[in-house]
Structure 1
Amino acid sequence: MIVEKVYNDSVKQIGSDSVISKNMPCWCGSGKKYKHCHQEWDDNINVLKLQGKIVPGHDLIKNEEDIKWIKKAAKINNEILDMVGEKIHAGMSTEEIDQMVYDYTVSHGAIPACLDYMGFPKSCCTSVNNEICHGIPDKNVILKEGDIVNVDCTTIVHRHYADASRMFCIGKVSDEAKRLVDVTKECLQIGIEAVRPWGYFGDIGAAIQEHAHKNGYSVVTDFCGHGVGNAFHEDPYVHHVGIKNTGMVVAPGMVFTIEPMINQGVSTLYIDKQNGWTAYTSDGKLSAQWEHTIYVTEKGVEILAY
């Protein structure tokens, strides 16, 4: 059995060979003394480890400097999506949306994370109607009255990332399309409400799944949310289906996305063989997605990118 041992002014962390003094700088890089920073956090984690819980490592915890830059990236990302919301209209191409995103991002000293990421050719994703995600902006894809479209942006500032997406209804859309968009947003909001410090990631998926199914929709399981902040995609995976009180512990200091993709019909999909990116509903029915970047604090959650 591994137990906490205290010798003089040092604490040996459970499951670790390293010894850190209470008066040494904290491992998070804050510059504060360990006893005034993350010692209590480690104590909680160590107890949870002994209980057999899945817990996050130190590498998933953001310090104050990280959060400062993630918030700066989020501010620009939010402004980009606000701009898209003001200018998007029937008759414009998804390529025009991408150009707006690129121009705004670089003119504000930031970098569009999507551009050239693993070969992705554009600065954002534009997924229309039955496209679930990763739609590639194209001059030949012209938005028309009644379309629903997801615009997904990730912005880099000072090597820190913020990620969000929103749904836009083009002109007057069908009642069915509007209901899907609204319920999907509710799924995101309910997922966020399920986040609590020292809770479980399974709570998020359980809440989203319940609401989607109650409304007659399916949840895409091939894609999920993810840690974000110091890289585009970090651990942990944030699944949009789940079982309450299971999965990794949600610890203060974590930053991640919740981004449910909700389908009007079946949950299955296929990937475009030509571009290798765009995911479509396998039955051709509509899909919607909303995404926020969430920061977990000791008191609750803060929405950074939306």
Structure 2
Amino acid sequence: MTSNHMVLGLLFVLQIGFGVLGNSFLLGLYTIIFFIGPRLRPIDFLLSHLAFVNDLVLLSKGIPQTTTALGLNNFLDDVGCKLVFYLHRVARGLSLFTTCFLSVCQAITLSLSHFRWAEIKARIPKCIIPFCFFCWTFHLLIYRYSLLNIKGPMGIKNITEGNDLIYCSTTFDSSFTVTMYAFIYSLPDIFCVGIMLGTSGYMVFVLYRHHQRVQYIHGNDITSGSSPEKRATQTILVLVSMFVSFYSLNSILALHMYLGRPNSWLIHISAFLAACFPACSPFVLIVSDSQVSKYSMVLWNGMKLPVQ
């Protein structure tokens, strides 16, 4: 094992460690506040779901990738590869759908000036749990067919039959099958990314129009403060921008690997990019969401022991 592999393994360990720590902190905080603290916002249930699936993404992809970066390649058999790949694909899809739904909810929240949107917003809290169940059912079903093409690292006897993904491998009958596979499984992703781009553009437009209106009313005396609604919108915009950026770069590399013969460094870079959003998103929420600090203060005050 070379020094480059040691550095790469260390990067994966740091990425997984900090990401899991941040997501677990948010998940634990929301869970405890749900039982002992003030009433959670409807969006907090989506954020806790996002933290949970982000932990799954980091663990299902990061641990095998870290192990291979440190030189241990043949540690999974066919069943292990199928389970790891399946869990990662499901968790990644859930992370995408949850982020998409967050952007839609926040866009509707900003549209309260219209009566029709106000009526829809009132129904959003009732839709969150059914939405999560739908997402889990949809992804568990749609990705079960992809298990047929996943093998262990030594599962392909002829190198021309598939692609080696270091700790696992994929098999396809022809290049046409690869193209159809990539197209079909990319449709939900493209749909969600399109919705996120549309809602993000709409939110930017609404915030800009509101800023212009307030500036016109108050002139140069406008304060630098921002409302909780505006801060929440800015947080969602940062999350969406991060997701779309990392997702786009990773998708380009993933398409190249499916259509060609990827080397090990491309596979490691793709895995690192795929884990960047789930690793960074909890810290965006911790820093920018004022409600997280309020929940933390409630929890801290509740844990204080009375002075004897």
* Greater strand fraction, Structure 1 or Structure 2: 1
* Greater helix fraction, Structure 1 or Structure 2: 2
* Rg comparison, structure with higher value: 2
The structure with higher relative contact order (CA 8 Å, sep 6+) is 2
Q: TM (normalized to structure 1)?
A: 0.28
